[in-house]
Structure 1
Amino acid sequence: MELKSLPWRGMLIALGVAVVLGGIYQKGYLHGQGDATLAGNAALSELQATFDREKREQTDRDNAALRAWQERYQAQVLAAHQAEVGYQATLASLQQQKQQLLRKIDDVTQRWIDEQGQPHAVQCVFTRGFVQQYNAAFGVAESGAQNGAATVTAQPGQAPGPVHPADARLRDSGVTQRDILANITDNGPQCQALSAQVNGLLDYIEGLQQ
């Protein structure tokens, strides 16, 4: 077959079309690959930005929680210090009040004045049974003091002599008004101090729950 008889024109056209189509495909492939790469990079950047933002927000929340805890702890320490200062001030005030009351005991237990203004020596009898019940009310056994309470006892030289067991509880105990007041003056501050301790503890517990 002669070369002139070959369909060169058609072959050249087909080859040109193939080249054009190949170029278009290659360009489209490269363009699509570039778009996919850009889209992937954008998605990765957005994901990284989201992660960084959430990490910062979590850090901010953790720091805020830590600051709140520190502020609460400092408030509790301050409350405990104030409670201790208040308690010590209460003890000092109670001790001062006790000394003042002790100095006034003799003024109200040595004599009494009748309606005509005449003074008389105080004559007041406290039976042994009265003293036993008085001490029992403070949780004190006859053998001695318990629970930190002081017992009321007769002054030296005032103890009565032996008596018959049948009427022992109704005999004079030798305890005077002065003894009773002195005992209450000793026990009173202890009761008030315990009350102050309990109230301070309750306030502290309430502060912990806030």
Structure 2
Amino acid sequence: MGTLDQLVWPLPARLAAVGLLCALSAAAAGSVTYGFGFRYADALGQKTLSDLKTQNAEQARAAESANRLQLLQQVARAYESESLLFNLMDQYAQEKQQLQERISHVSTQYRPAPGATAQPVPRCVFTAGWLRDFNTALGVPAPEPGATATQLAPAPWATPGTDAELLESGVTPADILAHAQDYGLWARRNLAQLNGLLDLQERQD
């Protein structure tokens, strides 16, 4: 008997062995190539995901910074408008105080001519009808029928076409001037607030 090294395989067996070796080599090469491709694709995907996360984080930070800046600007504008409004309110209050201090002086005496001696102001009568129409022009509603005396306005509210509308109302020029001061202050405050809101809205747009 010969040794194993001396064995001679038949041709079909040798061909089968060579085919098997080729198949094993191809499978090994394919496995290596697949593993390399998978790892490369995975690494590429991880990098893309990381880049995307970084980009989204930067965009979020930029948006947050822009929103914070916009909010601070709006707060600053609102504070400035509020400060201007308060300054106007103080100015109006001071002007009203000055006018109040002059009511008695300008409504109780007058000079009939330049250089003449000051004299008491002649009695000025405002009828109940005049006062009624004055209040109506300002939008003051008439008292409801059946209202008690404590609910009525201090001055009479005469019905049009009656004798009562020609009675004296008891209102003096000083009363009218004091009312004009209150009404003017109310109107100027409302106008200042409206202008402040419009200005703030325009600056925000």
Q: Select which of 173, 180, 186 maps to 2:182.
A: 186
Counterpart position of 1:147: none
Partner of 2:194: 198
Report the secondary structure of 1:126's partner residue: coil
Within-5 A mapping of 1:16-95:
17-95=15-93
Checking the alignment, whether the CA contact within 8 Å between 1:83 and 1:200 is kept in structure 2 is: yes
Question: How many residues are treated as equivalent by the alignment?
Answer: 184
Give the drift of 1:95: 0.6
**Residue of structure 2 equivalent to 1:130:** 130
Call closer, same or farther: CA 1:34–1:13 in 2, change over 3 Å.
same
Tell me which moved more, 91-100 or 24-33. 24-33
Deviations 1:107-138 (A, max 9, x none): 54332545x87677544432221212222333
1:184 Cα shift? 0.6
Aligned to 2:170: 174
Please state whether the residue corresponding to 2:170 is helix, strand or coil: strand
Structure 2 counterpart of 1:171, which letter? Answer: L
Please give the alpha-carbon distance, in whole angstroms, between the structure 1 residues aligned to 2:119 and 2:169: 22
1:10 and 1:56 mapped to 2: Cα distance?
65
1:105 and 2:103 matched: yes
Distance in 1, matches of 2:42 and 2:193, equals: 63
Q: Which amino acid in 2 is paired with 1:111?
A: Y
Partner Cα distance (2:178, 2:191) in 1: 21
CA distance in 1, matches of 2:111, 2:164: 29
Where does the alignment leave 5 or more consecutive residues of structure 2 unmatched?
A: 144-152
Query: What residue identity is the alignment partner of 2:30?
Result: G
Q: Is the CA contact (8 Å cut-off) linking 1:126 and 1:174 kept in structure 2?
A: yes
- CA distance in 2 between partners of 1:32 and 1:113 (Å): 122
Tell me, in whole angstroms, the C-alpha distance in 2 between the residues paired with 1:101 and 1:153.
23
On the 8 A contact 1:153/1:175 being kept in 2, the answer is: no
Between the aligned partners of 2:97 and 2:75, the Cα distance in structure 1 is 33
- Is the contact between residue 111 and residue 122 of structure 1 (CA under 8 Å) also seen in structure 2? yes
1:136 is aligned with what amino acid?
T
- Percent identical across equivalent pairs? 31
Per the TM alignment, residue 24 of structure 1 is displaced from its structure 2 partner at its CA by 3.2
RMSD: 3.5
Give the Cα separation in 2 of the matches to 1:51 and 1:71: 30
Gap change, CA 1:20 and 1:113, over 3 Å in 2: farther
Aligned-residue offset at 1:207: 6.1
Deviation at 1:98, TM superposition (A): 0.6
Shift of 1:35: 1.3
My pick for the range that moved more, 175-184 or 105-114, is 105-114
Which structure 1 residue ranges, 5 or more long, are not aligned?
A: 144-151, 160-164
